[in-house]
Amino acid sequence: MTPSFAQILKLSMALVLASAWPARAATPPTVELTEAQQAVSHADSADGDQYAAQELAAARNELAQAQAAMAARKHKDALALALAAAADGDLAYARSRAAQTRTEVAQRRAEISELRRRLQIEGGREAQASALDSELPPAADYAMRLQAITADPRLAPFAAFERLRAQQAVDALAKARRSKREAAEYLAQRRVEIAELTARTEATRRDADQLDRERSELLIEASRRDAETARAEAERLRVQAQIQAEEAERLRQQAAQSDLAMQDVEAALSGVADVQAAKLKAAREREAKLAREEAELVAGGKLPASRWDERGEIFTLNATDTFTSGKAALNERGAATVRTLAAYLQATSGSAARIEGVDTKTSLAQQRVEAVRDALVKAGVSRQQVRAAVGATGKSKARVEVVVSTK
């Protein structure tokens, strides 16, 4: 979240006053304690115990001491401890996010590499080292480390708020008296590291977004190739079945003079036909499965569950989930489902759709059938490919069914 000007001004005042703790000894540091509590909670929610256990433990301990000092009205000690707890909490959060981002980027790169190997795709964008792949610079001059972030074109657009807090901590260190220098340097060191980690993490997250897009493109290509393979296999089996049917007819004609011979031939051919029909059915179901996966990837939606009967594959669109109550207009969820159905029809070769509607009112059932048909055509399905049946009156649950059949 981008901080408001009021938040930045409040932070500036807090850091300036922190460099003069004796002057604030009588003022309860309630704002700083609240910020420390928020920082610890933030780190907790980011799995700080797993990725930055030492820093989070320090932040919890400092927060507990700050609360105890506050209760004892030792406001000077409470302020110093609250500022330290906030810094350690923010550092734990920054390290947790950095570790999680490294893992996510490594996983995406491995997935892309495996997809390219599977698809036999050579070349492509060469994987570049992310901003988090290199080690943080040594504890050199803090101001120079902040300048290095600004000078790096990959990091400069990020972590503006964290860099502001780090710069204010470095300025406070430069002005700190000898007795306060150790505490001021503690804060400056952590704030500078937080700024570095945050800038590198945000830059790497931008790389992760690019990897996500590349992975999605490869997944769609893999789905399309699998669908093409399934379609080719289904066609091969169809031709094979046709050849066997022709051969069966020839054998029947040869065996016409002998009833016994005819019975033997029929039994043998029936077994062959059953096996071939089962293979063809399995091939078509695999083609439908791959077409479903391709449609969901392309449309970015989910197809409803389907069932099969002698008419083909049947998708049921529940009226409550698909249409505006009591009307024929598609709601947002229904429109997304119909778009995905359109992608499925386009991905299934030789497919046709018959739309049937049921409602207590025949006119409403018919209007809903036509609304689904028009939405499919608008999404790219050929009008010749879709037929809207007459809506019917029924006492069963109101619905529209899309029956998909293939040649």
Taking the chain (407 residues) in runs of 10, the rounded mean pLDDT of each run is 38 41 64 94 92 93 93 91 93 93 89 85 60 61 89 91 93 90 90 92 87 84 84 88 86 69 61 70 75 78 87 90 91 92 85 89 89 92 84 78 87
Q: Are 268 and 183 in the same domain?
A: no
- Whole-prediction pTM: 0.55
Does residue 15 lie in a domain region? yes
pLDDT of residue 216: 86
Q: Are 15 and 157 in the same domain?
A: yes
Q: Are 194 and 329 in the same domain?
A: no
Q: Are 30 and 166 in the same domain?
A: yes
> Which residues constitute the domain of residue 290?
225-294
pLDDT of residue 390: 65
Q: CATH number of the domain that 373 lies in?
A: 3.30.1330.60
Q: How far apart are CA 381 and CA 374, in angstroms?
A: 9
How many residues belong to the chain?
Answer: 407
Residue at which a domain ends, from 271, 294, 317? 294
Q: Are 83 and 67 in the same domain?
A: yes
Residue at which a domain ends, from 255, 273, 294? 294
Q: Are 146 and 186 in the same domain?
A: yes
What's the one-letter identity of residue 68? A
Q: Are 252 and 386 in the same domain?
A: no
Does residue 299 lie in a domain region? no
Does residue 300 lie in a domain region? no
Does residue 318 lie in a domain region? yes
Q: Are 288 and 319 in the same domain?
A: no
Number of domains in the chain: 3
Q: Are 311 and 381 in the same domain?
A: yes
> Using CB atoms within 10 A of its CB, is residue 160 exposed (0-12), middle (13-18) or buried (19+)?
middle
Residue at which a domain ends, from 254, 272, 294? 294
154 neighbors 51 (Cβ within 8 angstroms): no
Does residue 301 lie in a domain region? no
Q: How far apart are CA 392 and CA 380, in angstroms?
A: 27
Q: What is the 3-state secondary structure (H, E, C) of the chain?
A: CCCCHHHHHHHHHHHHHHCCHHHHCCCCCHHHHHHHHHHHHHHHHCCHHHHCHHHHHHHHHHHHHHHHHHHCCCHHHHHHHHHHHHHHHHHHHHHHHHHHHHHHHHHHHHHHHHHHHHHCCCCCCCCCCCCCCCCCCCCCCHHHHHHHHHHCCCCCCCCHHHHHHHHHHHHHHHHCCHHHHHHHHHHHHHHHHHHHHHHHHHHHHHHHHHHHHHHHHHHHHHHHHHHHHHHHHHHHHHHHHHHHHHHHHHHHHHCCCCHHHHHHHHHHHHHHHHHHHHHHHHHHHHHHHHHHHHHHHHHCCCCCCEEEECCEEEEEEEHHHHECCCCCCECHHHHHHHHHHHHHHHHCCCEEEEEEEEECCHHHHHHHHHHHHHHHHHCCCCHHHEEECCCEECCCCCEEEEEEEEC
Residue-wise pLDDT tens digits, 123-152: 555 555 666 666 656 656 888 999 988 998
Q: Which of 305, 314, 407, 359 is nearest to 370 (CA)?
A: 359
Q: Are 210 and 189 in the same domain?
A: yes
Does residue 290 lie in a domain region? yes
Q: How far apart are CA 367 and CA 364, in angstroms?
A: 5
Does residue 93 lie in a domain region? yes
Q: Are 88 and 201 in the same domain?
A: yes
Q: Are 253 and 348 in the same domain?
A: no
Expressed in angstroms, the distance from the first to the final Cα of the chain is 55
385 neighbors 332 (Cβ within 8 angstroms): no
Does residue 175 lie in a domain region? yes
